[in-house]
Chain A
Amino acid sequence: MINPPFPSSDPKCPPSHLRDESRFQGVQAELKTPADHRALAELAVKSLERGQPMTFQGARTGLCGGCVPLAGQAVSLTLLDRPISLEETPEGFELRVQPGYDLASLGRDLSRRRFDFISAKVKAETLSAFRSRPYFWPPDPGERTATIGGLASTRAAGPGAHRYGSVAEHIAGLNFLMADGQERSVRRGRHFFRNGRMLLPGGQELAVDPSRLGLSEEADLLDLLIGSQGMYGLITSLDLKLAPAPAHVWALVFFLDSEEKAAALADVFLAEPLSPLVSLDYLDEASLKMVLSLRKTASKLLEIPPPPLGAAAAVLLEFHSNDESEIESAAAKALAGCQKVGGDPDQSWALTDAEAEKMRIVRHAVPEGLGGRLDQIRAKGYPVFNVASDFTRPGPSLTRCLAEYRRDLKAQNLEAVIFGHAKDNNLHVNILTENVSQTKRALELMADWLGRARETGGKLFQEHGVGKLKRELFAQAEKKETVDAWRTVKKTLDPHALFNPQNMLAD
């Protein structure tokens, strides 16, 4: 695995642009930061003509090194960070944004119902209708600084995927610069597979079995591009489907004194679904400890009390509904579930509406803390990086899954921080490594787990992507025909391998 221990000394590219949150380290690249769409398009077209590889970057919050350059140019999209226009549709509204527009800005603009549009063509009546009630973009990945382009590239999901699915379900279309230098509009259902063939916007034909790509028979080009990690072209704008915001949001946190009880509680919630449930997450004791240690430095966490004494794990739920009594009834059921598994109902938090953000802050503190820990170890000269699972494993209970992971970790003499989404056991098992030997064992263990997940029909790379960090795991864990199918797509859409080279597929 390519992972040089120290930052490149190349003066043309600051070290911060040669890594992402996984701490995967890139090498030699020239940093380009186009200021607007025109400059970006010109840069891309020129680079295609000259055969210069481009690695596109958003906020570099990815967890697989997908935006980390290994050659050519790093193209930062952070200056393309504005909303473009707003359209009213029969389903609600579509907000067109530049790829560098981030989740925090989106949340802020939706909350104040005011946008700094690039286009002056937004109709006054459209804006007036939009302002008549609050709207939101349902996907809720925890990293608020992540850009929309980055989220689309990795097909990010987040805790809200329990009800709302991934970002793919909430993007109506996008504009896409292809290998021929032409920019094209891609909308839902316009270019789709038929008998293993898809007619692409430029007139080319893509011949591949969509089921080998993990896509349905009805999948279209948008399904293929969202989650493609920038391998097939450049996303220049995205149309986000905005939905009416729920009138009431509740976040509940149950703290339990053992992992077994917490897993059993999550299993109770999965077995008896609570209707307004939007997310169901799990944090283990190491995650809680990470939150606690971050309280010393993270100002946002200072306004949140520490986990209760004796808490060994936590189960986090979020409810959305327009009827608060429906949420209250679900919360009462959840409370009964807590008592059923032997939990203490007083060791819980109930946060409503704006306060619910506090639960998201706690949850997001865990990956933040893991990143900080990696920095500390790397500062000592050890070339460690994030080794974490991101697969679903439908079938077994969360209790059984966790027990298996603990047993395997113990056998390998490894420690991990485990958190993630209870639905389909989409847990992020972050194996804590401090040296090369541990990293090697961690990767072997991860490959073993991926194999088991594949046997039970799980999705192997769910919401973080493959990037460069996991491409060897991808090659090992996926079937050969699947890897070949992805290679066919890459060769068809990017024959000269100039878009985000070495992502997912080794050259």
Chain B
Amino acid sequence: MTKTDLIDQNRPCRLPEEFIILDLRLAVCLKQVPSGQSGETDPRKGFVLRSGPGRLNPFDGSAIELAMSLKDRFGASVDLISMGPKQAEQTLLEALCLGPDRAFLISDPALVGSDSLATARALALTLSLLGPYDLVVCGLTTIDGGTSQVPPSLSRLLGWPFAGRLCKVVGLNEKELHFQQRYQDELLEATLPLPGVVSTLRESFTPRLPSIKAKLAPKKVTVLSALDLARSPLLANQESLRTETVDVAQAEGFSFGRSGGGPAKKTEPPADPAEFDPALYFGEKGSPTKIQAIRKPKPPNRVTVRPTAAEAAAVILEAVKAVKS
């Protein structure tokens, strides 16, 4: 038995043969989710109650690992950004033990109950405020919301390209990320121009564990309010970020309703950040623009025709190929 037997071929090396320093700026968007049994929702408004103990969304651990492995290999800086209640600070402090440089928490009563779009907007404003970043890394989805919508929404709001379901980084330089992504059994290889947004497959990047030294080191999380986001350069270039639910209805053959975006309206950025009205940008407090789940009992003897998993996968693959071409 030799010590070299312990080498895991899939594990990123800390010191590659050719040591390249790129000094990239990476951001990881992460979320605190309720831990254990405390995953209750508000029965009236439908959003997850976050007063209980929380933990890092397990999917986000892989996003941190990807960013940290790039930092190890190419000398990047890594910022963590999260949105949530004050207790989410604890999750960020724990995530800082894994080696990222800074952590920011967007926490404001005005943002309570934000849906995936409002969350993506807050994150986009923060990224724009703290940036520029070369790459934004997100987990594939969350175990509480489960929409998987934040990473692609972020990409759209920032105007950057997006690649989802990353399973391997093949190469990286200042201009592009060469990667592999997995859709079911299909492995695709592609290049993402930077800056860009990616989401990672949980099983492809096993998160490292904190060292004792890192655990004991002092750490700090910077808390940002909605007013802080008013200084974001992105705000000046955007049309109204406000959305409103225009309709919620039972769709034929589906158990979920639909929502529509509000009318696009040019909004002047506030001259004074103190005049910033979070409700205008993120929706009214407690009334998120979420896609309402309508869980009506199915009528008896009714046959619902839905695409099979294989058909759905084929549609996704076609879409991916179209984007590539």
Contact = CB atoms under 8 A, between A and B. Distances in A.
Given A305-B207, A354-B55, A292 B213 contact: no
A345 B213 contact: yes
Nearest to B210: A350
Contacts of B210: 349-351
A335 B212 contact: yes
Interface residues of B, number: 26
A152 interface: no
B216 A349 contact: no
Interface string B238-277: 0000000000000000000000000000000000000000
A352 B1 CA distance: 32
A358 B55 CA distance: 15
**Interface band, chain A:** 35 or more
B140 interface: no
Given A288-B6, A292-B6, A309-B6, A350 B1 contact: no
Given A331-B216, A348-B212, A354 B8 contact: no
Nearest to B213: A345
A306 B6 CA distance: 8
B36 interface: yes
B215 interface: yes
Nearest to B214: A350
B206 A292 contact: no
Nearest to B58: A303
B216 A312 contact: no
B11 interface: yes
Given A302-B203, A331-B216, A332-B216, A350 B211 contact: yes
Contact of B213 (A303, A304, A308, A348): A348
Q: Among the interface residues B3, B7, B8, B212, which one has the most CB atoms of the partner chain A within 10 A?
A: B212
A309 B7 contact: yes
A312 B212 contact: no
Interface in B194-240: 203, 206-216
B173 interface: no
A243 B55 CA distance: 25
B18 interface: no
Interface string A301-317: 01111111111100000
Contacts of B36: 111-112, 354
B7 A331 contact: no
The binding surface of chain A is classed by DSSP as mixed
Given A331-B216, A354-B35, A354-B55, A345 B6 contact: no
A288 B172 CA distance: 33
A252 B212 contact: yes
Q: Among the interface residues B5, B7, B207, B211, which one has the most CB atoms of the partner chain A within 10 A?
A: B211
Interface in A272-312: 285-286, 288-289, 292, 295, 302-312
Interface string B1-40: 1010111100100000000000000000000000111000
Given A285-B1, A289-B5, A112 B216 contact: no
A328 interface: yes
Contact of A331 (B5, B97, B208, B212): B212
Nearest to A358: B209
Given A303-B206, A306-B11, A354-B55, A289 B1 contact: yes
A89 B203 CA distance: 46
A334 interface: yes
Given A311-B6, A312-B3, A348 B206 contact: no
Nearest to B5: A289
Contacts of B212: 252, 254, 331, 334-335, 338, 345, 348-350
A448 B36 CA distance: 49
Contacts of B37: 111-112
A346 interface: yes
Interface string B277-318: 000000000000000000000000000000000000000000
A332 B37 CA distance: 33
A355 B213 CA distance: 17
Contacts of B7: 309
Interface string B79-117: 000000000000000100100000000000000000000
A318 B207 CA distance: 21
Contact of A351 (B8, B206, B209): B209
A102 B11 CA distance: 36
Contacts of B5: 289, 292
A311 B5 CA distance: 10
A331 B6 contact: no
B89 to A, nearest CB: 15
Interface string A343-376: 0011111111011001000000000000000000
B210 to A, nearest CB: 5
Nearest to B14: A309
Given A285-B1, A292-B8, A307-B6, A328 B209 contact: no
A346 B211 contact: yes
Contact of A310 (B1, B6, B55, B97): B6
Contact of A346 (B35, B97, B213): B213
A305 B11 CA distance: 9
B42 to A, nearest CB: 21
A349 B3 contact: no
Contacts of A350: 97, 209-212, 214-216
A114 to B, nearest CB: 9
A365 B216 CA distance: 28
A355 B3 CA distance: 27
Contacts of B209: 304-305, 349-351, 355, 358
A24 B246 CA distance: 69
Interface in B169-204: 203
Nearest to B10: A306
B206 A302 contact: yes
A328 B219 CA distance: 14
Contacts of A286: 1
A351 B215 CA distance: 9
A285 B3 contact: yes
10 contacts: A111-B36, A111-B37, A303-B58, A303-B207, A305-B206, A305-B208, A307-B6, A345-B213, A346-B211, A347-B211
Given A292-B8, A355-B209, 14 more contacts: A257-B3, A285-B1, A285-B6, A286-B1, A304-B206, A305-B207, A309-B3, A311-B6, A332-B216, A345-B211, A348-B211, A349-B211, A350-B97, A350-B209
Lowest 10 CB-CB distances: which A-B pairs, in order? Answer: A350-B215, A349-B209, A350-B212, A348-B212, A306-B8, A345-B213, A348-B211, A305-B206, A310-B3, A350-B210
